[in-house]
Structure 1
Amino acid sequence: MRMLRWSADVTLLDKIRNEYIRGSFKVAPITEKLKEKRLRWFGHIQRRPDDHMIKLALNMPTTKRTRGRPPATWLTTVQKDLKSALLSPDEAQDRANWRTKTRKADPK
């Protein structure tokens, strides 16, 4: 965000919101870009053969956790992203369709 403010010649003292600056440069929020990249990588993994090391590592059981809220894993985060984007893991097999459904972060 600092770089965008610098290139727009805007300081924090000007009291211009980050959303307005991002909109003027047509840049998506970082959280949306991260979600897009996670889903892109998940689709890459899903298209791998079932005996590939990465797919086997994803299906490994986790160890018993201590009391309290369990820490968020990469897979649980991806599952939340899939749910919010209304996607299923089986759709990743069609690469072109997967790309069109997951690449929505950049505003036009």
Structure 2
Amino acid sequence: MNYGTETWSLSMALIRRLRVTQRAMERAMLGVYLRDQIRNEEIHRRTRVTDIARRVAKLKWQWAGHMARRTDGRWGLKMLEWRPRTGKRSVGQPPTMWTDDIKRVARSRWRQAAQDRVLWNSLQKTYVQQWTSVG
């Protein structure tokens, strides 16, 4: 379920959809139906599956650190810096970029922060917490 999620731009709506899917999968694993009215906490206690929001956020944070520390010149880091030239802008708020939520925790110099693994790993807890406290 979380294959490739480190490349997604996270949003609260996406986290909610992932959690709904996870709960449905856990119910299927236990053979429990919605009409049985068993609380989600009880289902989590029985399955002991990691919360999908925590897993997705942790994977993305680790991938961001890996990308920032890369020095081999591959296109991944270049894609983070690329800004498309599309001419006329669309109405409304610009779409969320992949680095927006990372910058919220590690500030605009997140690539320099990622070079220090101790600092980067300490910031990971804050980053994961912001997505697990949602919903």
Q: Same fold (TM over 0.5)?
A: yes
Shift of residue 89 of structure 1? 4.1
Whether the 8 Å CA contact 1:38–1:78 is kept in 2: the answer is no
1-structure distance, mates of 2:111, 2:46: 35
Provide the TM-score with structure 1 as the length reference: 0.65
Q: Are the structure 2 counterparts of residues 66 and 6 from structure 1 closer, same or farther at C-alpha, using a change threshold of 3 Å?
A: closer
Residues 64-89 of structure 1: CA deviation (Å, up to 9, x unaligned): 63221111121213334xx29xxx54
1:79 aligned residue? 103
1:89/1:21 Cα in 2 relative to 1: closer, same or farther (>3 Å)?
Answer: farther
SS in 2 for 1:28: coil
Indicate which of 52, 56, 61 corresponds to 1:34. 56
Deviates more, 1:25-34 or 1:65-74: 25-34
Q: How many residues align?
A: 100
Residues 1-108 of structure 1: matches in 2 within 5 Å?
1-49=23-71, 51-63=73-85, 65-80=89-104, 83=105, 88-95=110-117, 98=120, 102=124
Q: Which structure carries more helix by proportion?
A: 2
Structure 1 residue 15, shift from structure 2 partner: 0.9
- Is the CA contact 2:68–2:115 (under 8 Å) kept in the aligned structure 1? yes
In structure 1, what is the equivalent of residue 15 of structure 2? none
Letter in 2 for 1:69: Q
Given the two structures, how large is their TM-score scaled by the length of structure 2?
0.55
Gaps of 5+ in 2: 1-22, 130-135
RMSD, aligned CA: 3.1
